[in-house]
Amino acid sequence: MPVQPNTPGNHAARRVQNYHYAILNLAALAEESAAAGKPVTSLNIGDPTLYGFHPPPSLTEACITALREGCNSYTSSCGIAPAREAISREASERRIATSAEEIIITSGATEAADLLCTAILNPGDEVLCPSPGYPLYTALIARQEAVSVPYHLDPGNDWLPDPEEIERLITPGTKLIIVINPNNPTGALYPPELLASIAETARRNNLVCLADEVYRKLLYSGSHHPFASFAENDLPVFTLESLSKNFMVPGWRTGWMTMTNSRLIPDIRRALRKLADARVCAPAAPQFAIPEALSLGNDYLLPVMEKLRVRRDLTVRMINGIEGLSCSTPEGAFYVMAKLDLSRYPFASDEEFIVELLRKKQILFVHGSGFGMQPREGYFRIVYLPDPLTLEMVYHDLYDFLLHCRHH
Ligand code: PLP
């Protein structure tokens, strides 16, 4: 690559040109609208604390106690031992083979994903990514100048992937596969046979696996099967978890990665340790709340899931009741991918629809192409966290908007 002169407008690194995070792309437009006296109902970001969901009180207490007791120092770069021990114990109970030495506590699952992509990927390496999928991953992969290879989540099959397609997409350059379960943006929960089959494909092709399970406790039905529980003793899996969603403290920036079969990948483990050391540590005080979080069981989630279920059911019913719109019923998290039949409307793309809706009705969703869908497919993601009354008003406004936009 020739050296580029430092001329005005030529200072930023090229690798950031392909770095996109669509969830916040339209936030500036929403702010403009609010500044002009038209506040926006933002259904674009998955932060439960904005909509009246609170963490279990004992978790807050544990964090406050840590602060009162003067836990203000840097911690070990991998995180405090009692938290790593609690994580390892709880993971073992869910048939994830790991140890306290194979855990790194991070600034949210986001930093864990970042450290992993940096530790594993060289320019040109291929990574199998779910499509649609959480845009952090395609952004991180672009930043390493590696290549995202999308595998499809099928809207006709409850947004599940096809292991045979995954197998067909593997080349000698494929290094990593990312599995997000429950998925963002679709809310799909993967059955155990499917996970076993993806694990088998990864095993046959010597892939490293990244299992993003940050929504694993937010389920309406069924149960969560950790991907790493299918790793046996010959598949390296990194499981990503977080306090953000399962415990409703996204601003604490506290997550972790759990390694399974790390003896197979000692070089990646060493690289991770170096990277972790250089960024010093995750926030200290919330780490002291991790053992409390993991000792809570699921009772604290019963009222949360009850509220979310009402919001989900209302969303699915009202969206499917509007002509031109459809969606399936998600089994986890708090997202739904809805589809607008673009052939009936004058929008050139999903994003144009979303921008017009924001301008006319001050409602903000995220366009499906921000998660890897084609712009003409007409998908968009709804965050259904707000209270039922707000959601009803949003869907009435959406109905009204679409009624006035239709081709005549
Ligand atoms: N993974 C997925 C699938 C997510 O949806 C999110 C946040 O929305 C994250 C990771 C990031 O979580 P954290 O707050 O732990 O960084």
Give, for ligand 1, the residue of 23, 105, 110, 179 to mutate: max count of ligand atoms closer than 8 Å to Cβ: 110
CA distances from 280 to 78, 104, 119, 225, 275 (A): 9, 12, 16, 32, 9
**Tens-digit pLDDT profile for residues 64-97:** 999 999 999 999 999 999 999 999 999 999 999 9
Q: Six-digit token pair at 94? A: 């869910």
Max mean pLDDT range (12-16, 42-46, 334-338): 334-338
ipTM of the shown complex = 0.99
CB count in 10 Å sphere of residue 74 = 8
Q: How confident is the model at residue 289 (pLDDT cuts 50, 70, 90)?
A: very high
How far, in Å, CA of 364 to CA of 93, rounded? 40
How far, in Å, CA of 78 to CA of 277, rounded? 8
Give, for ligand 1, the residue of 117, 131, 245 to mutate: max count of ligand atoms closer than 8 Å to Cβ: 245
pLDDT at 14: 80
| Residue that the structure tokens 């997000």 belong to | 180
Residue whose CA lies nearest to ligand 1 atom number 7: 46
- Do residues 190 and 212 make contact, with C-beta atoms less than 8 angstroms apart? no
Tell me what the mean pLDDT of segment 5-17 comes to. 76
pTM of the predicted structure, to 2 decimals: 0.96
Q: Which of 41-45, 119-123, 179-183, 198-202 shows the lowest mean pLDDT across its residues?
A: 41-45
Average pLDDT of every residue of the chain? 95
Q: Is the pLDDT of residue 349 over 80?
A: yes
pLDDT at 15: 80
pLDDT at 1: 58
Q: Is the pLDDT of residue 407 over 90?
A: no
pLDDT at 340: 97
CA distances from 51 to 46, 314, 381, 387 (A): 10, 16, 17, 7
pLDDT at 12: 83
pLDDT at 20: 76
**Tens-digit pLDDT profile for residues 117-126:** 999 999 999 9
CA distances from 340 to 254, 259, 315, 322, 404 (A): 36, 40, 14, 10, 15
Q: Return the higher-pLDDT residue of 405 and 181.
A: 181
| % residues pLDDT > 70 (the chain) | 98
- Give the binding-site residues of ligand 1, using a 6 Å CB cut-off: 46, 108-110, 134, 180, 184, 212, 214, 242, 244, 250, 255
pLDDT at 257: 98
Q: Is the pLDDT of residue 408 over 60?
A: no
How far, in Å, CA of 362 to CA of 358, rounded? 4
